[in-house]
């Protein structure tokens, strides 16, 4: 599929992991699914993890459009973290963060999942896969 969702019910964290090659189309599909999962799970925090990915082939135009879209959930009160381990992924994530700063003020970009948990103030997690 290219992505999968997991949920930590104790901390109410929705986790989206991308695998393999990430394209504009795949991200757009995952974004639509994220909106449904966010509401269904009653998530309070979110993580997008690019660690399992092999290549990010996202266009800057797509990132600009995505940054201008309505965020999933209330991004002014509910923190989000992007895990971007490579220099290239980190740069793309930071570009998205800057472009969407006004609608996603609690968005953070980090290099590791452990850093993401620290940003969210979470010490113990248990994620279950979502169908």
Residue 1 has a pLDDT of 62
User: Domain limits of the chain?
Assistant: 3-119
Residue 52 has a pLDDT of 86
Only one residue has tokens 């399992």, namely 52
Residue 131 has a pLDDT of 80
Q: Compute the distance between CA of residue 128 and CA of residue 131 in angstroms, rounded to an integer.
A: 10
Q: Compute the distance between CA of residue 67 and CA of residue 112 in angstroms, rounded to an integer.
A: 22
pLDDT tens for each residue of the chain, 131 residues long: 699 999 999 999 999 999 999 999 999 999 999 999 999 999 999 999 999 888 888 998 999 999 988 888 889 999 999 999 999 999 999 999 999 999 999 999 999 999 999 999 999 999 999 98
Residue 50 has a pLDDT of 93
Choose among 39, 42, 37: nearest CA to 12: 42
Residue 118 has a pLDDT of 98
Residue 93 has a pLDDT of 93
In Å, what is the CA distance from 103 to each residue of 24, 31, 67, 70, 130?
A: 21, 16, 8, 8, 27
CATH architecture of 3-119: 2-Layer Sandwich (3.30)
Cβ contact 126:14 at 8 Å: no
Residue 19 has a pLDDT of 93
Residue 56 has a pLDDT of 86
Residue 79 has a pLDDT of 97
Choose among 109, 87, 106, 83: nearest CA to 96: 109
Residue 54 has a pLDDT of 83
Q: Compute the distance between CA of residue 54 and CA of residue 74 in angstroms, rounded to an integer.
A: 30
């Amino acid at each position: 599929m290219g992505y999968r969702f997991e949920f930590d019910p104790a901390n109410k964290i929705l986790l989206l992991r991308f695998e393999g090659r990430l394209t504009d189309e795949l991200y757009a599909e995952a974004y639509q699914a994220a909106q449904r999962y966010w509401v269904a799970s009653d998530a309070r925090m979110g993580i997008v993890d690019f660690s399992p990915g092999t290549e990010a082939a996202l266009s800057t135009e797509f990132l600009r459009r995505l940054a201008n879209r309505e965020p999933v959930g209330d991004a002014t009160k509910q923190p989000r973290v992007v895990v971007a381990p490579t220099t290239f992924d980190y740069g793309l994530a930071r570009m998205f963060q800057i472009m969407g700063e006004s609608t996603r003020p609690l968005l953070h970009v980090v290099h590791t999942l452990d850093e993401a948990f620290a940003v969210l103030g979470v010490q113990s997690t248990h994620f279950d896969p979502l169908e």
